[in-house]
């Protein structure tokens, strides 16, 4: 029995050693892993410290990269010379539209231009001539006003056309309360050629054609609707040339979600000289409704993306910012993030409202799957929306 006990003792001791060894080995591995992790963590902290290191420019501005310092005086110049000291006016709206018309000259399949390269500014005569391609509307209609306004300022800055167009769009948008602070990536080379024709969607296009064009440039239906948030700070000069500066919503000076609501209101009138190509019935005197916005707001492929932005400022702004970040670097690479030169926009916190005399019963509900937000109505009689001052008049 003793021997059997001894035998079992020795067996267990025999067994114990390898077990201890495994534990020790594990402990060693664990210790090494821990020290390895601390080294990696320390290294990553050093890297992130290096990445987040801030540079103080000679102007006193602080930025993430010394290469961005030269942009601060240019931002001030653009505000003074182009945007009347920082206004969300016609020039700011047009600068955003120009960035879109420039960048969308691109295809993920190739062969459609250099994207966000400023070709629309350098080769303005060519790209503006696209307006005569269609007997219905002008794809780049009205763009000549802003290119001729921007060109002399652009020449004085020393920037490439692409950097200028996309910096001006970010600054102009930032002048509109409620807008996101758009990303600005710096370092585009000079554009090599004009974009080809037929890249800019037109208000007479079908939803299928519009979504196909956006998809060809790399944007989903959701992103296309997100980009259309821009029409909250938009007015038409040439859709009906008898009424230049006719806004798309009742709050054209603020980047709110009012346009998503108002495009869904039942239309009853044309604000100017009757029905024009690309225009459909509007709900308000003085307001222009594009056929493309009308259709996209009601199409089953896009209606819910449209409706969910109504009174959801945070969603609208974050989706717009993300889609713009993608748009403004189409076709570009090796850019430096100079977003901290872009002014910080004022925030909006008040809920949007139905225009006076309108309510839920005036809405074309096109996304019954989602609840429609409860909104108050502005007091008083139905408004007439005043035009945006147009600088070329
Ligand atoms: C379905 C796609 C789109 C169509 C069919 C379209 C069409 C139009 C039209 C016809 C105008 C009025 C032009 C005039 O008469 O002066 C306009 C204005 C404007 N669009 Fe679009 N657009 C589209 C997408 C976009 C996108 C993606 C952006 C920006 C990201 C944008 C920004 C603007 C702005 C800011 C204005 C106002 C310009 C001003 O007030 O001077 N649009 N758009």
CATH number, domain with residue 231:
1.10.520.10
Q: For residue 38, is it within any domain?
A: no
Name the residue range of residue 349's domain.
64-362
**Whole-number Å distance between alpha carbons of 7 and 17:** 16
Q: For residue 376, is it within any domain?
A: no
Q: For residue 206, is it within any domain?
A: yes
Percent of the chain at pLDDT > 90 equals 79
Give the active site residues.
101
Q: pLDDT at residue 349 above 70?
A: yes
Cα 212 to ligand 1 centroid, rounded to whole Å: 17
Cα 35 to ligand 1 centroid, rounded to whole Å: 57
Q: For residue 9, is it within any domain?
A: no
* pLDDT tens digits along 149-188: 999 999 999 999 999 999 999 999 999 999 999 999 999 9
Answer whether 289 contacts ligand 1 (Cβ < 6 A). no
**Whole-number Å distance between alpha carbons of 273 and 290:** 15
Closest residue to atom 31 of ligand 1, CA basis:
97
**Whole-number Å distance between alpha carbons of 174 and 255:** 9
Return the exposure string of 14-29: e unless at least 16 CB atoms fall within 10 Å of the residue's CB, then b: eeeeeeeeeeeeeeee
**Whole-number Å distance between alpha carbons of 192 and 114:** 8
**Whole-number Å distance between alpha carbons of 15 and 20:** 9
Answer whether 238 contacts ligand 1 (Cβ < 6 A). yes
Q: Taking the mean position of all CA atoms in its chain, how far away is CA 341?
A: 17
119 assigned binding-site residue = yes
Cα 371 to ligand 1 centroid, rounded to whole Å: 28
**In the chain, what is the greatest distance between 2 CA atoms, to the nearest angstrom?**
114
Q: For residue 241, is it within any domain?
A: yes
Closest residue to atom 32 of ligand 1, CA basis:
97
Answer whether 230 contacts ligand 1 (Cβ < 6 A). yes
Answer whether 180 contacts ligand 1 (Cβ < 6 A). no
Residues 6+ apart with CB under 8 A from 362: 265, 266, 283, 354
Q: For residue 129, is it within any domain?
A: yes
**Whole-number Å distance between alpha carbons of 151 and 192:** 17
Q: Return the minimum-mean-pLDDT range out of 73-77, 83-87, 129-133, 172-176.
A: 129-133
Q: For residue 226, is it within any domain?
A: yes
Give the pair of three-digit tokens for residue 99.
Answer: 């960035």
Q: For residue 13, is it within any domain?
A: no
Q: What is the DSSP letter of 341?
A: G
- Band of pLDDT at residue 23, cut at 50, 70 and 90: very low
Domain tally for the chain? 1
Answer whether 64 contacts ligand 1 (Cβ < 6 A). no
Q: Which residue has the higher pLDDT, 20 or 78?
A: 78
Pairing of strands 62-63, 279-280: unpaired
Say what the pTM is: 0.87
């Amino acid at each position: 029995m003793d021997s059997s006990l001894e035998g079992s003792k020795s067996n267990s001791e025999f067994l114990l050693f390898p077990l201890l060894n495994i534990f020790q080995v594990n402990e060693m591995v664990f210790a090494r892993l821990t020290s390895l992790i601390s080294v990696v963590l320390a290294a990553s902290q050093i890297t992130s410290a290096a990445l987040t290191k801030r540079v103080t420019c000679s102007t006193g501005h602080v930025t993430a990269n010394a290469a961005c310092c030269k942009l601060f005086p240019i931002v001030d110049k653009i505000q003074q010379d182009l945007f009347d000291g920082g206004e969300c006016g016609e020039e700011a709206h047009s600068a955003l539209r120009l960035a879109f018309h420039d960048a969308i000259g691109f295809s993920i399949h190739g062969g459609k231009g250099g994207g966000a390269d400023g070709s629309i500014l350098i080769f303005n005569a060519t790209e503006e001539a696209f307006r005569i391609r269609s007997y219905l509307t002008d794809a780049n209609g009205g763009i000549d006003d802003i290119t001729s306004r921007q060109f002399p300022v652009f020449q004085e800055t020393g920037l490439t056309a692409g950097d200028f167009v996309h910096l001006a769009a970010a600054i102009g948008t930032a002048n509109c309360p409620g807008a996101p602070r758009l990303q600005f990536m710096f370092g585009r080379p000079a554009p090599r050629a004009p974009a080809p024709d037929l890249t800019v969607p037109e208000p007479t296009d079908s939803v299928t054609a519009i979504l196909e064009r956006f998809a060809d440039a790399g944007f989903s239906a959701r992103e296309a609707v997100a980009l259309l948030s821009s029409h909250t700070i938009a007015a038409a000069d040439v859709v009906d040339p008898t009424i230049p500066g006719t806004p798309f919503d009742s709050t054209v000076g603020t980047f709110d979600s009012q346009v998503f609501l108002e495009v869904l209101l039942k239309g009853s009138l044309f604000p100017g000289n009757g029905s024009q190509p690309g225009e459909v019935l509007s709900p308000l005197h003085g307001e222009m409704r594009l056929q493309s916005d009308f259709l996209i707001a009601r199409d089953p492929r896009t209606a819910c993306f449209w409706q969910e932005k109504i009174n959801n400022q945070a969603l609208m702004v974050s989706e717009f910012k993300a889609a713009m970040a993608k748009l403004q670097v189409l076709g570009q690479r090796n850019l430096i993030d100079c977003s901290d030169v872009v002014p910080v926009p004022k925030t909006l916190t008040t809920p949007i409202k139905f225009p006076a005399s309108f309510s839920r019963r005036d809405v074309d509900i096109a996304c019954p799957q989602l609840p429609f937000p409860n909104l108050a109505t502005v007091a008083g009689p139905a408004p007439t929306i005043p035009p945006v001052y147009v600088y070329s008049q």
